[in-house]
């Protein structure tokens, strides 16, 4: 596996650097937004005793010192709807809204490009000729997943250290504005989605599946999470932290199901050559389910960004167009060609 | 060292592309692999190197199955000319990829081979002409120092000098380094002079495995003309009509023993002239229907 890791890293170095660049840009934008909104709040919140006494004639200095933190806290908790959405803490919000969609999409798209590129260019086959397939796929996951985890840590660390320094506030105060506390969890969620997609790609090793299924499964994940989140709120379950545990539980359950699917697939078929119709029967129910979920997510689109829908949709179309090219066989292929 | 392919089978999209493929490949041997288009030559090579996963049988190096001992795959190399991941890499980068993955890869030798054929190390593979690309693949095969090498259509669309260079390199590698090659090609003339044995792939299986030298000792190709339009029984039973021009027949007799020879003479041909037996004759005999008979009749 060491050899595979080396050659994998050599091959994907430009893509990983690109991902690092994207991460820094996204971080820069969110950093600037957080700092800006912090200062905006400062404009209308009394921060000194003099300001407090000016606004509340007759109070003593001791009272002012006691009241300022309370007022500040109250004003800080009155953040705009976009921040509520970002944090996902308010009862009307949901977890989907707390995901940083740009970073999530960047991670998944880059992952898909990598897997599709490796599959189409014959790089996977080059690796298969060197060792176990499992090692080939895990090398990719390790390099790519490791890079995403590292970049996430870097971004989180930059926020942790940089934001308080930038405005002279405490980290907790900044947290309320920037959603810093959830950034780590969001990235974890993005990573889970990527793993979700990667496992599907690992399962089917097929361009159509690589390009179509992950966005669809992503939609399945997001659509289902949004729906479940809504139900949980209706049931009176508490704020994001508790629900987050349930989401992660859902991810784990889905992961286990996919792992079982993989075991089933491997036990039923020795073939794994990336050919469109060599995918196991297991694939089609999943594919159908993904479509249902995609429609659910579409219906739930008000709670998600337009780009978050558009990008998987474009990927789906691209996947069908590219995947169909020269690969239409059998009854399903002809049916697909007709539609 | 010997590589054994044992009852290899593979189905893609419900179609049996390979079925019960078995042969032995000794080190230092050049095997030709021929067959009609789409018969599964490339699939066989991909399956040998585990790019496709065999559904039946297996590939063994000595007693060890390659699927259970992936480290042994370092002894078998196939650079798929269709799926080349390094199209956008320079030759120097490609060399580094192979140096990282094949322990015995000799980067110095690759650079020397590239220099011998005026291949610029700084140029991308995809920018090279088809002939130069073939030479790069050949140079990688040679510099890899892998004992068993599969070559897929190495002469396809190449000019005389590049073909000669490839043949020369293969012969030198076999003679000096005990390397072994499995060459799939439609260029039967090149293969004829190069291969020790030729495997015929038909309907996904090895229909014939000819040792060319042994075959030439007992097989004969005759040009025959008979007085009557009707083809004599001996030709129908023991021979295979390869070509018909008017009343001139080209017939292959795979077992031309004295009995058959006497029977041919007894049929009193007007003309019976031996012709050189070429691989293309075997190919024709393997894959053509009884077209000759129909034309003559």
Ordered alpha helix ranges (H), A46-179? 49-55, 61-77, 81-87, 95-98, 101-121, 123-128, 133-167, 171-178
Q: CA–CA separation, A4 vs A126, rounded Å?
A: 10
Report the gap between the CA of B139 and the closest CA in chain A (Å): 17
Reply yes or no on whether the pLDDT at A35 is more than 80: no
Q: What is the pLDDT of residues A47-71, one digit of tens each?
A: 677 877 877 888 888 888 887 777 6
Q: Say if the Cβ atoms of B53 and A271 lie within 8 Å.
A: yes
Q: Which residues pair with B250 in a beta bridge?
A: B223, B243
Q: pLDDT tens digit string along A179-230?
A: 444 444 444 554 555 555 555 454 444 444 444 444 445 544 554 555 555 5
What is the rounded CA–CA span in Å between residue A262 and residue A258?
Answer: 6
Instruction: Assess B73–A contact: CB distance below 8 Å, yes or no.
Output: yes
| Residues of A contacting chain B (CB within 8 angstroms) | 3-4, 6-7, 10-11, 118, 121-123, 125-126, 128-133, 135, 269-273, 275-278, 329-330
Q: A interface mutation test: which of B8, B53, B77 has the most A CBs within 10 A?
A: B53
Q: Which residues of B touch A276 (CB under 8 A)?
A: 13
CA–CA distance, A281 with A158 (Å, rounded to integer): 46
Average pLDDT, chain B: 87
For A327, nearest residue in chain B (alpha carbons): B13
Residue of A3, A125, A281 to mutate when probing chain B, most B C-beta within 10 A: A125
Q: Mapping DSSP to helix (H, G, I), strand (E, B) and coil, where does residue B294 land?
A: helix
B223 touches A at CB < 8 Å: no
Establish if B87 touches chain A: CB-CB under 8 angstroms.
yes
Q: Mean pLDDT lowest for which of A15-24, A304-313, A323-332, B262-271? A: A323-332
Tell me whether residues B53 and A126 touch, CB distance under 8 A. no
Mean pLDDT of chain A: 60
Please say if the pLDDT value at position B183 is more than 50.
Answer: yes
Give Cα A97 distance to the centre of its chain.
11
Q: Measuring CA to CA, which residue among B221, B289, B225, B279 is closest to residue B255?
A: B221
Among candidates A126, A129, A329 on the partner chain, residue whose Cβ is nearest the Cβ of B13: A329
Is the interface score ipTM higher than 0.90?
Answer: no
Distances (CA, A) of A48 to A45, A76, B237: 9, 16, 113
Q: Identify any residues that bridge with A10 across adjacent strands, giving them in sequence order.
A: none
Q: Which residues of B touch A6 (CB under 8 A)?
A: 100
Q: Does B125 touch chain A (CB under 8 A)?
A: no
CA-nearest residue of chain A to B77? Answer: A129
Nearest to A130 among B46, B80, B101 (CB): B101
CA angle A257, A140, A128 (to 5 degrees): 95
Whole-number pLDDT of residue B21: 95
Shortest Cα distance from B278 to chain A (angstroms)? 35
Cα B177 from Cα B142, distance rounded (Å): 10
Min Cα separation A310/chain B (Å): 30
Query: Distance, in angstroms, between A132 CA and closest chain B CA?
Result: 6
Give pLDDT tens digits for B59-110.
Answer: 999 889 988 888 888 899 999 877 788 888 999 999 999 998 888 899 999 9
Backbone angles phi, psi at B6, to 5 degrees: -120, 110
pLDDT digits (tens, 9 = 90+) for B26-58: 999 999 999 988 888 999 999 998 888 888 899
The answer to whether the Cβ–Cβ distance between A6 and B77 falls below 8 Å is: no
Residue of A nearest to B43 (CA): A273
pTM: 0.68
- Taking CA atoms, what residue in A is nearest to B88? A121
Using one digit for the tens of pLDDT, what is the confidence trace for A109-146?
Answer: 676 667 667 766 778 888 888 887 777 777 777 787 78
């Amino acid at each position: 596996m060491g050899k595979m890791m080396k050659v994998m890293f050599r091959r994907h170095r430009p893509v990983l650097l690109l991902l690092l660049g994207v991460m820094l840009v996204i971080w820069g934008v969110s950093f600037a937004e957080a700092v800006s909104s912090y200062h905006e709040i400062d404009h209308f919140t009394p921060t000194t005793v003099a300001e407090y006494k000016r606004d509340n004639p007759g109070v003593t200095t001791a009272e002012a010192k006691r009241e300022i933190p309370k007022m500040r806290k109250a004003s800080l908790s009155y953040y705009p709807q976009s921040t509520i959405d970002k944090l996902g803490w308010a009862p009307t919000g949901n977890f989907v809204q707390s995901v940083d969609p740009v970073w999530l999409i960047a991670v998944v798209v880059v992952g898909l490009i990598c897997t599709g590129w490796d599959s189409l260019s014959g790089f996977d086959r080059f690796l298969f000729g060197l060792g176990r397939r499992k090692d080939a796929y895990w090398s990719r996951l390790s390099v790519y997943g490791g890079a995403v985890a590292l970049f996430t840590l870097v971004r989180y660390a930059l926020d942790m250290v940089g934001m308080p320094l930038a405005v002279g506030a405490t980290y907790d105060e900044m947290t309320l504005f920037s959603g810093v506390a959830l950034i780590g969890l969001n990235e974890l969620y993005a990573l889970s989605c990527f793993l979700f997609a990667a496992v599907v790609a690992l399962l089917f090793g097929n361009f159509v599946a690589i390009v179509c299924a992950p966005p669809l499964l992503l939609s399945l994940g997001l659509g289902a999470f949004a729906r479940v989140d809504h139900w949980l709120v209706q049931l009176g379950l508490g704020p994001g932290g508790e629900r987050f545990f349930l989401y992660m539980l859902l991810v784990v359950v889905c992961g286990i199901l996919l792992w079982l699917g993989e075991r089933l697939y491997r036990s039923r078929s020795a073939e794994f050559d990336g050919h469109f119709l060599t995918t196991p029967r297991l694939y089609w129910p999943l594919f159908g389910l993904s479509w249902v979920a995609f429609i659910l997510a579409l219906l739930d689109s008000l709670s998600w960004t337009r780009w978050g829908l558009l990008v998987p949709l474009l990927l789906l179309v691209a996947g069908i167009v590219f995947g169909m090219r020269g690969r239409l066989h059998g009854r399903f292929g002809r049916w697909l060609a007709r539609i | 060292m010997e590589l054994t392919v044992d009852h290899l089978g593979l189905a893609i999209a419900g179609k049996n592309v390979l079925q019960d493929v078995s042969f032995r490949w000794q080190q230092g041997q050049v095997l030709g692999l021929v067959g009609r288009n789409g018969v599964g030559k490339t699939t066989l090579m991909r399956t040998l190197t585990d790019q496709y996963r065999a559904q039946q049988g297996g590939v063994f190096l000595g007693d060890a199955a390659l699927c259970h001992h992936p480290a042994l795959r370092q002894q078998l190399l196939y650079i798929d000319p269709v799926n080349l991941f390094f199209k956008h890499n320079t030759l120097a980068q490609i060399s580094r990829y192979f140096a990282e993955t094949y322990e015995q890869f000799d980067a110095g030798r690759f650079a020397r081979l590239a220099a011998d054929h005026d291949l610029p190390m700084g140029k991308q593979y995809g920018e090279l002409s088809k002939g130069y690309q073939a030479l790069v693949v050949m140079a990688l095969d040679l510099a890899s120092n892998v004992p068993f090498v599969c070559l897929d259509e190495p002469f396809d669309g190449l000019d005389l000098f590049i073909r000669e260079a490839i043949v020369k390199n293969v012969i030198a590698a076999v003679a000096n380094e005990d390397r072994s090659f499995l060459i799939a090609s439609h260029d039967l003339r090149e293969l004829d002079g190069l291969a020790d044995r030729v495997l015929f792939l038909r309907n996904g299986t090895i229909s014939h495995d000819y040792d060319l030298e042994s075959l030439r000792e007992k097989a004969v190709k005759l040009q025959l003309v008979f007085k009557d339009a009707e083809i004599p029984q001996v030709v129908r039973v023991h021979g295979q009509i390869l070509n018909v021009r008017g009343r001139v027949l080209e017939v292959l007799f795979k077992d031309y023993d004295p009995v058959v020879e006497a029977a041919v003479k007894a049929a009193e041909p007007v003309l019976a002239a031996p012709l050189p037996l070429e691989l293309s004759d075997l190919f024709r005999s393997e894959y053509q229907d009884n077209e000759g008979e129909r034309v003559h009749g």
